Amino acid sequence: MLRKIVSLQDDERRDIARDLHDELGPLLFGIRANAVALQDGAPNDAELGASVEAMLESVEALQLANRRILDRLRPLLIRELGLEKSVQSLLQFARSQAPGLKISLRIDPRLDDVDALLSQTVYRVIQETVTNVLRHAHAGAMIVEAAIEGSQVAVEVADNGVGFASDQPFGRGLTGMHERVRALSGTFEFKRENGRTYVRCRLPVCL
């Protein structure tokens, strides 16, 4: 039942992502094009030029936000590139956001062959954990690992950041990860150990 719910949630996210891509994307492009035309039409009007420049900056910020939302709603790269390259792309973006963060990745190329729902779950766990590290951990290093071990997929993300309070409840992101993993009859662990914070999960593998 939980597996079906997660699948339905992914279908809903896909539909929302399609609407954002097909409707909001062209509108933002149109606003940008009109702003550029307005800027070109009045090159000697300093006040107008400043206003248009501010408008362009706002549109660029909205386009970037739209892309981030699309990435979270529907990781398109998984279907096109496979899980391994999708995670590599995710971590490349993380490096651009936090140049001082040392990131190590070890991922089993056989994960490209697991079924779609399992692949999406592994990606979501890594994505949400990396996002938390970037936002809250103030870490200097992060290790991401995902591999097939026997009949299970093992995922672990570890960082050397500031950690969390022992009585801190799960936030929405961690709760969502936990629910996804549980829906696939997996186990999920979030703990602080030896100066590092770990997110670990194990999931039954489907090839």
Domain range annotation of the chain: 2-73, 80-204
Provide the CATH topology of domain 80-204. Answer: Heat Shock Protein 90 (3.30.565)
The 3-state secondary structure of 137-190 reads HCCCEEEEEEEEECCEEEEEEEECCCCCCCCCCCCHHHHHHHHHHHHCCCEEEE
Is the overall model pTM greater than 0.75, yes or no? no
* Average confidence (pLDDT) over 153-169: 80
Q: Cα separation of 53 and 11, whole Å?
A: 38
Chain segment 108-143, per-residue pLDDT in tens: 999 999 988 898 899 989 988 998 898 888 999 999
Chain segment 70-100, per-residue pLDDT in tens: 666 655 557 777 899 889 988 988 898 889 9
Name the β-bridge partners of 202. 154, 187
* Cross-sheet strand order for the sheet of 152-159: 102-107, 141-149, 152-159, 196-204, 187-193
